Amino acid sequence: MHRLKPSLQFRKSITYTYVTLARHFSTHQTRFDHVGPMASLLKSRSVVRFRGPDTVKFLQGLLTNDVQRFCESPGEMTSTLVTPNVPFISDSPMYALMLTPQGRFLYDLFLYRPARASEKLDRTGSGPGSDPDGRLELLADVDATVLDELLERFNKYRLRADVVIENVAEEFSCWQRYGENLTEKFSSAEEPEAASVGWGAAVDPAGTSSSHGNSHGWQWFKDPRLDSLGFRGIFPSNTTPPLVEADKETDEKNYLLWRLEKGVAEGSTEILKGEAVPLEYNLAGLNAISFDKGCYVGQELIARTHHRGVIRKRLLPLKFLDDSGKEMEQKVAPGSDVINAVSGKKAGTVTTALECRGLGLLRLNEALKGPSKLTIQGQEDVKVEAIRPEWWPTEWFQEYQQDTASA
């Protein structure tokens, strides 16, 4: 099947799509309601495959999250219904990071465990498939701009581990499905529309129906970072994923705008490679870090910063405005300094920018202390509004208030 060209009603061109959507953002609400669920092919991401007996042990010592989970028995959220095209055991994806030995960010990965043949019915539907070797395999959705160096770094750590690391970017593609209220009413780890269709008259809680698309059982899963980000999945490159209508496929820049509004950075460009401190980029709150697992590369800084309990800088959503409060587009570049217009002190730096929206790593005592006096250094006509995301845990703000009071 060939991928259909996008044809959203509001779309006259790619540029028009994301410029128009940017104009409709507000401080506390997103404005994607009128277009409903959308899906984007993530050309900024590639797929790497890990397979072999030592796969979990190898990744467990390198990544910030507990990869050992993929070896555990399925939990309550896992379906036990068997159908020909989707496994009855279905692990949710995991978000994890790879760090430098000094605890600075290098790469982010979304890990998926494809179903083994023995976890699905065979083509006849009469019993489980054949899985003679039973080797664990994991697929990783990674930043395409750093794919070669990521593979080189993993292979450097491989040594004698019995694990094969492969670039399978030609075989698989990464997709995101998102939109206002798409996931808020559903607790299932999988796509609710797919879960409403099942074999016979029953409802299939894991979405194990033909709406998943093909005999391999590729599925949409809730984004492991935040429910409000929508659904994410890896699918064969020669097909369009299930539930992606021709008029709902849209440019990846709309997904970027969706993330900017939520205050979520992704990849080694937005999260500065070799420099970013993961806790300052809110990655613990995005389920990327386990504080209960054993040692991994860069753990010392993460643990020390976490237990110290005070994060004075954090990544925040930004809105760029003129003197009258109207949104300004195409005015700010990543790397621009944000300053307090009254004191002249530097408050932080813009890390990502698209049209009138952005992300910035800012000192909380400047960003959250009241009516905004922030501006862009050298562009005093651009006012900066920093927004506290709704998903932030209450304790983060309490830590900031306590730190401010003690100061």
Token pair 């806790």: residue: 279
Q: Select from 249, 236, 238, 233 the least CA-distant residue to 175.
A: 233
Residues of the chain with pLDDT below 70 are: 1-35, 73-90, 116-134, 181, 183-217, 370-371, 398-407
Phi, psi (deg, nearest 5) at residue 49? -115, 135
E strands, 205-301, are 221-222, 231-236
* Interior angle at CA 346, CA 341 and CA 350, nearest 5: 100
Alpha helices per DSSP H over 263-390? 267-270, 299-308, 364-367
The per-residue pLDDT for 214 is 43
The per-residue pLDDT for 136 is 82
C-alpha span between 264 and 262 (Å, rounded): 6
Question: In terms of CATH architecture, what is 312-405?
Answer: Beta Barrel (2.40)
SS3 (DSSP) at 308: helix
Radius of gyration of the chain (CA): 22
SS3 (DSSP) at 346: strand
Does residue 228 contact residue 221 with C-beta atoms inside 8 Å?
Answer: no
Alpha helices per DSSP H over 142-205? 147-158, 192-195
Number of Cβ within a 10 Å radius of residue 60: 20
Q: pLDDT (tens digit, 9 = 90+) per residue, 288-335?
A: 999 999 899 999 999 998 888 788 999 999 999 998 889 988 789 999
Tell how far CA 342 is from the center of its chain.
36
Does residue 266 contact residue 252 with C-beta atoms inside 8 Å?
Answer: no
DSSP single-letter state for residue 243:
T
SS3 (DSSP) at 252: helix
Residue range(s) in the chain whose domain bears CATH number 3.30.1360.120:
31-180+212-309
Mean pLDDT of the chain: 79
The per-residue pLDDT for 37 is 85
The per-residue pLDDT for 80 is 36
For strands 137-143 and 105-112, give the pairing: antiparallel
First to last CA, the chain: 62
Question: In terms of CATH architecture, what is 31-180+212-309?
Answer: 2-Layer Sandwich (3.30)
Amino acid in the structure at residue 32: F
Does residue 90 contact residue 115 with C-beta atoms inside 8 Å?
Answer: yes
Amino acid in the structure at residue 374: L
Structure token digits, residue 376: 């862009």
Structure token digits, residue 325: 């409060």
Does residue 142 contact residue 46 with C-beta atoms inside 8 Å?
Answer: yes
The per-residue pLDDT for 396 is 83
Q: pLDDT (tens digit, 9 = 90+) per residue, 80-127?
A: 333 344 444 457 899 999 999 999 999 999 999 987 666 555 565 555
The per-residue pLDDT for 397 is 72
Q: Supply the DSSP string of 76-129, one letter for each residue.
A: TTS-----SSS-SS-PPPEEEEEE-TTS-EEEEEEEE-PPPGGGSB-TTSSSBP
* Interior angle at CA 161, CA 160 and CA 163, nearest 5: 130
Alpha helices per DSSP H over 321-382? 364-367
Structure token digits, residue 358: 């952005």
CA distances from 97 to 57, 179, 184, 339 (A): 16, 26, 26, 31
Residue range(s) in the chain whose domain bears CATH number 2.40.30:
312-405
The per-residue pLDDT for 246 is 75
Number of Cβ within a 10 Å radius of residue 313: 20
